[in-house]
Structure 1
Amino acid sequence: MGRQISRGATDFIFQLEGEAGPALFEQLRPFLSVPGYTVEPKFRSDPEWELYRQHYPSAFHEHTMTNRALQAELRGMGDRLKRRRVIDHVALFRAAVSAEEAARTLRRRGFRIDELEGSDESGSWALRFHRKERCDGGRPDAFTAEILEAIEPNDGVYDGWGCAVGR
């Protein structure tokens, strides 16, 4: 899952299902013998994934990383990111009433809202919405924050944005 370096030690953190930790450590023990270093395994149950949530970025920060990658992809295709164009967004919800509440908030913020797409086999409702924007610099982070403020209180998950290449 990750590593943490502090106070002269490196902690490698793994998230495993059930009680797999001790057995996995025994399998890896021959590979972990490094002169001058001590390996001290520690195991703890974490069924709510609290440790994961403490060490990994929030939804906003995950999206900012995705925003940088999408901007680089667009730039690589010759996009002029400063050019305004319609940006398409998708958010997923477990309940139609939650999606409808988020849609009202997004509409007040200037987004054009498509008709809510019915529940699929996973039970999710898809809300598609659009607004004319530029996608240069920190603008995607700004609209991402605005969108998350509208959908997270309604138990929504932002699936991200896309657009046509603006040349």
Structure 2
Amino acid sequence: MSTVYTLVKPTTYTPCALVYEGSAESKNWKTEMQYPPLYEINFRHRHIELRQTISESTTTAVLKGEYHGLTRSSATIEGFNSSVSAKRRSKLKYGWSFVDFSGNEFKWFTTVLGHTFTLCDVNNKEVAKFVLRLRNYRVAGTLTILEEKMPEQLLALVMLTCKLVHNSMCCESGPVATSSVVVTS
């Protein structure tokens, strides 16, 4: 059985996202989603962060990280009393790879004009999928976790790295960027 999350942008022109459990397929996504969101994914300059919502007014940091390099092609992510790294797989590919807190390697696979990102483990077993929603500027897409009982640490890394891939694909220079939206997240 899979678990589905919807990533929604707080405002149209932001690289950040709010993560809700469930799938929002319609134009009335605001009424379909439970408030407050389960998580917030924040990007500010070189800093990245996944925050878990405790109550409507309280959040706590689960993962914190920082981009490296001029092209922001790698990042160090800290959380759960440990540190991991994530990196863009190549300049021509928008996928990222990371090693989780247990030492297992994962890779996000993308296609140049595709609207689906697939996360695979070292054995090429699909662990998660993200499907872009290009028609709705506020709903970034849906993340489906294909693995039953995914550990909390891995789920947090999947959410954060999924957003890294999304921002790489949908920035102004990415292959699925639109002229009316600078950054879709």
Give the structure-2-normalised TM-score: 0.25
* Structure whose alpha-carbon radius of gyration is higher: 1
Higher relative contact order (CA 8 A, sep 6+): 1
More strand by share: 2
